[in-house]
Amino acid sequence: MSKSELAEDFDGVIVVTAREKRLRASLLQLIAPQGEEAIVDIGSGTGTVAISIKASSANAEIEFVTAMGDDEITEVFAGNAGKVVSTSVLHQCPGDMKLAILANAYRLLNPGGSCSSRTMASSGIF
C-alpha cells in the first residue's frame, strides 16, 4: 500500500470514527476564516483541515510546510498568523513536545490572534 493509499484510508476511518465532518464544521465556525488572513495548521497530517479552510475562504492562502510541530517554523514569519489551528496532534506528544508546539503557535500569532486545538481525551474528543 502506498502512502497516498494509507492517507486515504486514514481519512476515511477518521470520518467514521471521530465525527470528523461535524467537528471540522464546528472548527471552521470557531475560527471563521477572514479574507487574506494567514492561518497556520500545525500538524496538518493529510491536509484535510487546511483544504477545508481554503474552501471556506476564497482569499485564503495555503502553503504546506513540512516540519515537526516542535521545530521552529521559519517559513511563516513570527507574528504574522491571525490564527493557528492544531487538530488531533497534542494527545500524541510527550509533555515537552506539547509545550514546544504551543510555544511555536504563540510565536507565529500576531497580537490579538487566536489558537484553536482539538485533541483526544480519555473520554473521547473534546
Q: The domain spanning residue 21 has which CATH number?
A: 3.40.50.150
Residue 126: predicted pLDDT: 43
Determine the Cα–Cα distance for residues 32 and 68; give it in Å rounded to an integer: 26
37 vs 108, more confident = 108
Higher pLDDT, residue 9 or 110: 110
Q: In what order do the strands lie in the sheet with 39-41?
A: 39-41, 81-87, 109-118
pLDDT tens column, 49-66: 888 888 888 776 666 666
Any idea how long the chain is?
Answer: 126
Whether the CA torsion 121, 111, 63, 66 is positive or negative: it is negative
Look up the domain containing 73 and give its range: 3-125
Q: Which DSSP letter does residue 92 get?
A: G
Paired sense of beta strands 39-41 and 81-87, if any: parallel
pLDDT digits (tens, 9 = 90+) for 80-98: 888 888 887 787 788 888 8
Average model confidence (pLDDT) for the chain?
76
Tell me if the pTM is above 0.85: no
The number of distinct structural domains making up the chain is: 1
